[in-house]
């Protein structure tokens, strides 16, 4: 770990975490912070909004910004997600570009074009446990032709716990000298309302397949916070009536399963009991309507 110096006693800065959908951004952040904060799903494009995750590393406060995967689709919601990623790149002190070790360089080359302000960046080779040493060395060799564009290349594996300290050390030395920007006890600046929303969305992704999770969202209607219990009322928004029936399930079986999974995630995070009420409503074409998207919380700039 990097030692403190008298001319730069503390460092702090924002680090955007970007990459293609399903590159492992949220898993990496949960691993670095040591808590389950960011939504994780095996399905691509699960993350929709930016989320700040704070990691203390010695004298350095690193504020990671989790972003939606970089992708291009016509749907208005997808355009919002790309906007979120591009804004994060432009606003941060440093960018981590996550590249699964099996990926070709196409996604990285697309990122270089999006990085219009030439923000300094580190390439993080993720999922290195999925390739052998020979393949890993060849992949590092492929990236070497762009070595004048990035600050460093760091291989990591979340599942095998490889590369965490090396990555944090590398990030820390590139952040500006600065007092810490937040209370060092904080793990995130994201409001509890947004965290609970993402945990309900994750339960939907875990319990339903195909397109339904992508065509749903969650509105937190009400939260009553007590010392030992949170009461949460939330509405799952679907695009079609047929999707509402699938979300509810026969005799309410599916909505009960989603609610149970979401409640357990929320209780593990909060450390207290959760009373969760889930409802389902239909807003036809919500993901393609700017006014409805704004009502749900996706504000375009």
The residue extents of the domains of the chain are: 11-173, 192-296
What mean pLDDT is predicted for residues 146-172? 95
Can you tell me the distance from the alpha carbon of 115 to that of 96, in angstroms, rounded to the nearest whole number?
Answer: 12
Confidence of residue 97 (pLDDT cuts 50, 70, 90): very high
How far apart CA 259 and CA 253 sit, in angstroms, is 10
Q: Which residues of 93-132 are buried (b: 16+ CB within 10 A; e: fewer)?
A: bbbbbbbbbebeeebbeebeeebeeeeebbbbbbbbbebe
φ, ψ for residue 229, nearest 5 deg: -155, 135
- pLDDT band for 82, please (50, 70, 90 cuts): low
- pLDDT number for residue 40: 43
* DSSP 3-state of 162: strand
What is the architecture of the domain spanning 11-173? 3-Layer(aba) Sandwich (3.40)
The rounded distance, in Å, linking the Cα atoms of 189 and 183 is: 10
Query: 223: Cβ–Cβ under 8 A, 6 or more apart, which residues?
Result: 192, 193, 196, 230, 231, 232, 233
Please give the structure tokens belonging to residue 104: 């070709």
- CA dist., res. 167 & res. 60, Å (int): 13
> What's the topology of domain 192-296?
GMP Synthetase; Chain A, domain 3 (3.30.300)
Higher pLDDT, 271 or 114: 271
| Mean pLDDT of the 240-254 span | 93
Angstrom distance (rounded) from CA 280 to CA 259:
12
* Mean pLDDT computed over 284-290: 80
% of the chain exceeding 70 in pLDDT: 83
Q: Residue 220 forms beta bridges with which residues?
A: 234
- Given this model, what pLDDT does residue 163 score? 94
Q: Is 127 left (phi over 0), alpha (psi -120 to 50) or beta?
A: left
Could you report the per-residue pLDDT of 34-59, keeping only the tens digit for each?
A: 766 654 434 344 455 667 888 999 99
The pLDDT of residue 29 is 85
pLDDT of residue 42: 43
Q: How far is the C-alpha of 44 from the C-alpha of 70, rounded, in Å?
A: 11
Highest mean pLDDT: which range of 115-119, 141-145, 294-298: 141-145
* pLDDT tier, 261 (very low <50, low <70, confident <90, very high otherwise): very high
Q: Is it the case that residue 90 has pLDDT exceeding 70?
A: no
Q: What is the DSSP string of 64-99?
A: EEE-------SSHHHHHHHHHHHHHHHH-SEEEEEE
Mean pLDDT of 215-238: 92
Percent of the chain residues past pLDDT 90, beyond the cut = 50
Is 256 a residue whose pLDDT tops 90? yes
State the Cα–Cα distance between residues 170 and 151, nearest whole angstrom.
Answer: 9
């Amino acid at each position: 770990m990097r030692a403190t110096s008298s001319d730069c006693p503390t460092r702090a800065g924002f680090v955007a975490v970007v990459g293609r959908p399903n590159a492992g951004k949220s898993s990496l952040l949960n691993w670095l912070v040591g808590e389950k904060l960011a939504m994780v799903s095996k399905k691509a494009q699960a993350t929709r909004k930016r989320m700040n995750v704070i990691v203390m590393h010695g004298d350095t406060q690193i504020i990671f910004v989790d972003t939606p995967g970089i992708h291009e689709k016509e749907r208005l919601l997808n355009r919002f997600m790309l906007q979120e990623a591009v804004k994060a790149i432009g606003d941060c002190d440093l960018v981590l570009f996550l590249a699964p070790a099996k990926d070709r360089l196409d996604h990285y080359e697309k990122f270089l074009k999006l990085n219009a302000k030439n923000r300094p960046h580190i390439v993080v080779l993720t999922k290195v446990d999925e390739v052998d040493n020979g393949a890993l060395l060849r992949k590092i060799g492929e990236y070497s032709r762009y070595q004048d564009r990035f600050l460093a290349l760091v291989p990591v594996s979340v599942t095998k716990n490889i590369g965490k300290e090396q990555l944090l050390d590398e990030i820390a030395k590139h952040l500006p000298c600065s007092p810490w920007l937040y209370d060092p006890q904080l793990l995130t600046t994201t409001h509890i309302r947004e965290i609970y929303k993402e945990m309900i969305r994750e339960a939907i992704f875990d319990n339903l397949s195909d397109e339904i999770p992508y065509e749903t969202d969650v509105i937190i209607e009400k939260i009553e916070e007590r010392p030992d219990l949170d009461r949460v009322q939330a509405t799952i928004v679907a695009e079609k009536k047929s999707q509402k029936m699938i979300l509810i399930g026969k005799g309410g079986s599916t909505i009960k399963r989603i609610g149970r999974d979401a409640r357990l995630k929320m209780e593990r995070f909060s450390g207290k009991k959760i009373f969760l009420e889930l409802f389902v409503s239909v807003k036809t074409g919500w993901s393609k309507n700017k006014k409805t998207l704004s009502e749900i919380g996706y504000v375009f700039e």
